[in-house]
Amino acid sequence: MVHASPFRGPSGSGGPLSAAALGTGTSSVLDETLEPVYQEVLARNPGELEFHQAVREVLESLGPVVAKHPEYAEAAIIERLCEPERQIIFRVPWTDDSGQVRINRGFRVQFNSALGPFKGGIRFHPSVYLGIIKFLGFEQIFKNALSGMPIGGGKGGSDFNPRGRSNAEVMRFCQSFMTELHRHVGEYTDVPAGDTGVGEREIGYMFGQYKRIANSYESGVLTGKGLGIGGARVRREATGYGTVIFVEEMLKAKGTSLDGRRGVVSGSGNVAIYAIEKAAQLGGTCVACSDSDGIVVDEAGIDLELLKQVKEVERGRLTSYAERRGSARYIEDGRIWEVPCDVALPCATQNELNHADAMALARNGCVVVAEGANMPTTPDGVRVLMDAGVLFAPGKAANAGGVATSALEMQQNASRDSWSFAQSEEKLAEIMRAIHERCADTAAEYGSPGNYVAGANIAGFKQVADAMLALGVI
Contact set with ligand 2IT (CB under 6 A): 119-121, 140, 143, 193, 195, 223, 374, 402-403, 406
Going by the DSSP 8-state scheme, the letter that residue 310 receives in this structure is I
User: In the complex, what is the shortest distance from the CB of residue 43 to ligand NDP, in angstroms, rounded to a whole number?
Assistant: 27
Q: Any contact of residue 10 with ligand NDP (CB under 6 A)?
A: yes
User: In the complex, what is the shortest distance from the CB of residue 435 to ligand NDP, in angstroms, rounded to a whole number?
Assistant: 13
Residue 174's binding partner out of ligand NDP, ligand 2IT, none, with CB under 5 to 8 Å set by partner kind: none
Residue 34 CB neighbours (<10 A) = 22
Cα angle at 282 between 277 and 287, to 5 degrees?
Answer: 55
Are the CB atoms for 179 and 145 separated by under 8 Å?
no
Site string for ligand NDP, 110-139 (x = CB under 6 A): -----------x---x-x------------
CA proximity to 394, closest of 52, 81, 58: 58
Q: Any contact of residue 372 with ligand NDP (CB under 6 A)?
A: yes
- Minimal CB distance residue for ligand 2IT: 121
Closest CB to ligand 2IT among 380 and 409? 409
User: In the complex, what is the shortest distance from the CB of residue 195 to ligand 2IT, in angstroms, rounded to a whole number?
Assistant: 4
CA proximity to 119, closest of 34, 44, 220, 43: 220
Residue 385's binding partner out of ligand NDP, ligand 2IT, none, with CB under 5 to 8 Å set by partner kind: none
Closest CB to ligand NDP among 291 and 380? 291
Q: Which helix (H) or strand (E) holds 312?
A: none
- Give the amino acid at 175: Q
Going by the DSSP 8-state scheme, the letter that residue 29 receives in this structure is P
User: In the complex, what is the shortest distance from the CB of residue 351 to ligand NDP, in angstroms, rounded to a whole number?
Assistant: 9
CA proximity to 187, closest of 409, 405, 404: 409
Q: Is 472 left (phi over 0), alpha (psi -120 to 50) or beta?
A: left
Q: Any contact of residue 276 with ligand NDP (CB under 6 A)?
A: no
Residue 119's binding partner out of ligand 2IT, ligand NDP, none, with CB under 5 to 8 Å set by partner kind: ligand 2IT
Q: Any contact of residue 5 with ligand NDP (CB under 6 A)?
A: yes
CA proximity to 56, closest of 89, 93, 24: 24
- Minimal CB distance residue for ligand NDP: 269
Near ligand NDP by CB under 6 A: residue from 399, 424, 442, 463: 399
Going by the DSSP 8-state scheme, the letter that residue 313 receives in this structure is I
Sign of CA dihedral 248, 252, 253, 255: positive
Known catalytic residues are: 155
CA proximity to 225, closest of 194, 189, 256: 194
Residues found near ligand NDP in the complex (CB under 6 A)? 5, 7, 10-11, 121, 125, 127, 194-197, 239, 267-272, 291-293, 347-349, 372-374, 399, 402
